Homo-oligomer: A and B are copies of this chain.
């Protein structure tokens, strides 16, 4: 574990777009992915294999995967929520599968039509099938810091979901602040607890900047030893159950903080800022990211 290096997983093509009112074409999504890869991103959540009737923003996942550039050492991740999604993801040739497993029933039932316990059963089935296919699977524990329906999320519940996911074969477990309510003290506490029960799995964190705590949470996660962080170019993304919420932490702003703190990522912050601005033009809104607006550190 190298404190001076962090792996940034670009989630803009999936979490950044899935709740936008403007639906981007497959070509636009491929351009977004291509720009991120050209900027140095080596893991990217490119697609989601969900029902296109329910989430039109994510339609055409197979076409996206057919169009991405291969062979550059890039791992393309597909989000799946059930066995049918996994079968599509494997057929489309994703490099990794990610499954969202909420820690709270209120969210899980409304978002995925299942209780948390039922979703954990699904995860076990998906993980076994993915392993059989030789495709790594990770679990993202959503609503780990709070739930729009259930309020406070008991940390014991997060630990239990993470433990079962790791036991079922998740090579990576993520703590996700789906609605952006978490604070740094909570990050440190949850990371410590989850590491104790899932230390065979890599720990990843996923923050939203809904209440301006996202970057402080990323800092706290890094301080607690987390070396993999999700972020979204431009800071787009949100939650359908929290409509006023701003999105994921912006990749370019996270890179600014990390790079100037001496932490390397291999990703070009300026190129991602330009990607965020371009994405804003496609979505018809200003990016929540600030680096593109303010410019980088002034030259003397």
Show the binding face of A for B, using Cβ within 8 Å.
Answer: 146-152, 179-181, 183-186, 209-213, 215-216, 218-220, 242, 244-246, 249-250, 253, 256-257, 260-262, 289-291, 293-295, 297-300
Minimum Cβ distance to chain B for residue A294 (Å) = 5
Known: A150-B300, A213-B215. 16 other contacts (CB 8 A): A151-B298, A152-B297, A181-B298, A183-B260, A184-B219, A186-B260, A186-B261, A211-B290, A211-B294, A212-B215, A212-B289, A212-B291, A213-B256, A213-B257, A244-B294, A245-B294
> Which residues of B have CB within 8 Å of A289?
212
Q: Quick one: copies of this chain in the complex? A: 2
A210: nearest residue on chain B (CB-CB)?
Answer: B294
- Are B184 and A298 interface neighbours, CB within 8 A? no
> Which residues of B have CB within 8 Å of A298?
146-149, 151, 179, 181
A297: nearest residue on chain B (CB-CB)?
Answer: B181
Cα separation A242 to B290 with both chains bound (whole Å): 13
Minimum Cβ distance to chain B for residue A297 (Å) = 5
Cα separation A274 to B184 with both chains bound (whole Å): 24
Ranked nearest first, the 8 interchain pairs of A and B with the lowest CB-CB distance are A151-B300, A185-B261, A212-B253, A183-B260, A216-B216, A216-B219, A215-B216, A212-B290
Known: A151-B300, A215-B213, A219-B219. A294 touches B257 (CB 8 A): no
Minimum Cβ distance to chain B for residue A157 (Å) = 13
- Are A209 and B300 interface neighbours, CB within 8 A? no
Minimum Cβ distance to chain B for residue A137 (Å) = 30
> Which residues of B have CB within 8 Å of A249?
212
